[in-house]
């Protein structure tokens, strides 16, 4: 059964929920709600990775995420830390997080993989070709799914070499990172190339631009509400579940929970 990660961005500038969960008590309420709706993990982030985002001082990042992680750990709610910084990952694990979610697959901070190995935490390795400022400069692929799988395999090998056990590794094709909308769809169509790596697979499409493109094609100039993006995300979640992914990372946990339940009923699960 595909699991759900609930997104909690404690940032003022994330592309869809920026500014909403900067106040720790509001963030914690949001996390509790997502947990009660069926999220396995609350993915806490303190630095936006949206296209064009500028880097945040790691001390500010830690001030944003640590109070939330501590409170959720006390409440028995499992978390992951969405960070590019090894020091933030270490502080989060000391505060109770068990999974480090690094969208750069360990490339942004050369100390990340060794740090996670020392911490004994799990790691989600994302497919990444460069910082958000200019990631579209790297969006060239002949066969997107195959190349993404090959580059992820190299990150898995680097993680193993740093001392992270294979069972601790999750891979993520990095939807929206250095990929055009069409390349993202190509990767999703080829998810079997990613599941063939033999690790748990995490996929994040929630509210991303590829969905906006598909919705615009369907309805022309209708306004693109959050509700429509969440409904579209529920559909991609069900399709990703069908492709055998281990978990999907979403903003609207209840919509995806329902979509997965219906897809499961179709499959007789
Ligand atoms: N996408 C974003 C941030 N973190 N983590 C993983 N593992 N996979 C993703 O696709 C991913 C991520 C950017 O989206 P957001 O601003 O909605 O968090």
CA distance 51 to 54: 9
Atom of ligand 1 nearest to the CA of 9: 18
- Predicted pLDDT at 137: 84
Q: Whose CA is nearest to atom 2 of ligand 1?
A: 49
Q: In the structure, which protein residues have their CB atom closer than 6 angstroms to any atom of ligand 1?
A: 7, 9, 14-16, 45, 48-50, 82, 101, 103, 124, 126, 172, 174-175, 202, 204, 206, 249
Range of the domain at 250: 3-266
| Choice from 4, 125, 126 to test ligand 1 binding pocket (greatest atom count within 8 A of CB) | 126
The answer to whether 134 and 114 have CB atoms below 8 angstroms apart is no
Catalytic residue list contains 249: yes
- Predicted pLDDT at 14: 67
| Choice from 14, 16, 48, 49 to test ligand 1 binding pocket (greatest atom count within 8 A of CB) | 49
| Choice from 5, 61, 82 to test ligand 1 binding pocket (greatest atom count within 8 A of CB) | 82
The sign of the dihedral angle between the CA atoms of 10, 16, 19, 21 is negative
Q: Whose CA is nearest to atom 9 of ligand 1?
A: 204
- Predicted pLDDT at 134: 78
- Predicted pLDDT at 15: 65
CA distance 166 to 198: 9
**174 alpha carbon to ligand 1 midpoint, in Å?**
8
Burial 211-239 (b: 16+ CB within 10 A, else e): beeebeeeeeeeeeeeebbbebbbbbbbb
pLDDT tens readout for residues 44-100: 999 987 777 778 999 999 999 999 999 999 999 999 999 999 999 999 999 999 999
Low pLDDT (below 70) residues in the chain: 13-15
Catalytic residue list contains 179: no
- pTM to 2 decimal places: 0.96
- Predicted pLDDT at 64: 94
The answer to whether 101 and 124 have CB atoms below 8 angstroms apart is yes
- Predicted pLDDT at 120: 97
The sign of the dihedral angle between the CA atoms of 103, 194, 196, 192 is positive
**268 alpha carbon to ligand 1 midpoint, in Å?**
31
- Predicted pLDDT at 173: 98
- Predicted pLDDT at 49: 79
- Predicted pLDDT at 19: 76
The answer to whether 177 and 127 have CB atoms below 8 angstroms apart is yes
Quote the percentage of the chain above a pLDDT of 70.
98
Q: How many domains, in total, are found in the chain?
A: 1
The CATH number that applies at residue 56 is 3.20.20.20
**176 alpha carbon to ligand 1 midpoint, in Å?**
8
Q: Whose CA is nearest to atom 3 of ligand 1?
A: 49
Tokens 């609350």 correspond to what residue? Answer: 42
Atom of ligand 1 nearest to the CA of 15: 16
């Amino acid at each position: 059964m595909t699991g759900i990660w609930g997104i909690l961005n404690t940032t003022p500038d994330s592309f869809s929920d920026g500014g909403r969960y900067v106040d720790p008590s509001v963030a914690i309420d949001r996390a509790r709600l997502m947990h009660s709706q069926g999220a396995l993990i609350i993915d806490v982030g303190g630095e936006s990775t949206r296209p064009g985002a500028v880097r945040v001082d790691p001390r500010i990042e830690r001030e944003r995420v640590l109070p939330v992680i501590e409170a959720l750990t006390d409440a028995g709610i499992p978390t992951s830390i969405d960070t590019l910084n090894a020091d933030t990952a270490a502080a989060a694990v000391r505060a109770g997080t068990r999974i480090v979610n690094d969208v750069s697959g360990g490339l942004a901070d050369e100390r990340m993989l060794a740090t996670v190995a020392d911490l004994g935490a799990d790691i989600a390795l994302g497919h990444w070709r460069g910082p958000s400022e200019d990631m579209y400069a790297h969006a060239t692929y002949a066969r997107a799914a195959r190349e993404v799988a090959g580059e992820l395999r190299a990150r898995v090998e680097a993680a193993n070499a740093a001392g992270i056990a294979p069972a601790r590794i999750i891979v993520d094709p990095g939807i929206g990172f250095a990929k055009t909308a069409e390349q993202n769809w190509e990767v999703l169509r080829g998810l079997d190339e990613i599941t063939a790596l033999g690790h748990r697979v995490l996929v994040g499409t929630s509210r991303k631009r590829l969905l906006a493109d598909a919705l615009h094609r369907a309805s022309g100039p209708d306004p693109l509400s959050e509700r429509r993006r969440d409904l579209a995300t529920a559909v991609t979640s069900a399709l990703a579940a069908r492709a055998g992914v281990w978990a999907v990372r979403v903003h609207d946990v209840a919509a995806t929970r329902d979509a997965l339940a219906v897809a499961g009923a179709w499959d007789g699960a």
